[in-house]
Structure 1
């Protein structure tokens, strides 16, 4: 009799990095919002913290796949950690900047991020929706925009900071556009997958 397939233990390095990222979210938020975001030093530390936490996102996924450490806990916790980190970043930045258009964009982005994440868990009974190329571009542009806004560019004088701030605005506009586009794409893919599975049944 062949032994049943067993899942690796949840106590592994990949899951530890995911948990570390979750624990790091409130620390990052505190660094970002200390003194209302007006402290140059704390904003730089927030940028460093965000960068390090984003690096753990890449490392834990690579480790889980390469070492056979993929677990149900990791599948659930990893996207939650990602959304918590970017969500904290976007909300914190909206609090700092305070403009209505930034708040509106952030609310729409967060509704998309959490909505699609929940939808992917629901649709799993019909099949797996793989991450699209657009989704990967979206993630990259979001990270670039957040990183640019975390740096206190608006508090610095000089041409270089102005150019970087404009580039950050462009990255954010691109991230917003692709975020909305991929939301519609994922919804259509989910409906198609559901219809195909029901037809096959």
Structure 2
């Protein structure tokens, strides 16, 4: 069975972890959110591991090709959507590390719009005999998305701890500025690479489709 393939089993495990992360992030408690942070790290690193195993052991399968991107998108949804809900409705009093201290809707539109478009566009390209593989820009985009997600979950965990323990020191104030700055930079780069990687996909499709038409 396909799921008994080790990389596929890891991918399925990442789907389960994504479903677990979302409620942990939403719950206002340091222990719960730190557990969510650790689980997210495990899920993020498993993405690197299953891909390496599949390639190194020649275990690439159609099941894995289908489920791996699905697991990645589910992990995005399990974190980005809670961030938006927390900053706007569930926990609006907790500042979100972004300009204006709210998680903007347009970022969700850019991130998930790109993912939806690429999914549809790959099918469109495949019907025309053009295979669009993941490029370096897309891989780097995923790295910065994960850096942002990890930093944001950790931010919410520390905000819960500050409320629980009444943190009100200069050290805590300075840390918040550093932490917020790191998170903003990671998210900014992730958004830029999201748009750039989409451009690369379209450029590569144009180049490959042109070569295919020119071939005798």
2:174 aligns with one of 146, 159, 166: 159
CA shift at 1:114, angstroms?
2.4
2:138 aligns with one of 127, 135, 140: 135
Q: Which residue does 1:31 correspond to in 2?
A: 24
Within a 5 Å distance, the mapping from 1:6-155 to structure 2 comes to: 11-34=4-27, 38-98=28-88, 102-125=104-127, 126-152=129-155, 155=159
Q: Please, what TM-score do these two structures have when normalized by structure 1?
A: 0.85
Counterpart Cα distance in 2 of 1:150 and 1:186: 30
Q: RMSD over aligned Cα, in angstroms?
A: 2.1
Q: Which residues of structure 2 form unaligned runs of 5+?
A: 89-100, 163-171
Q: Please, what TM-score do these two structures have when normalized by structure 2?
A: 0.80
Instruction: Tell which deviates more after alignment, 108-117 or 121-130.
Output: 121-130
Secondary structure of residue in 1 paired with 2:104: helix
CA shift at 1:142, angstroms?
0.7
Q: Which residue does 2:97 correspond to in 1?
A: none
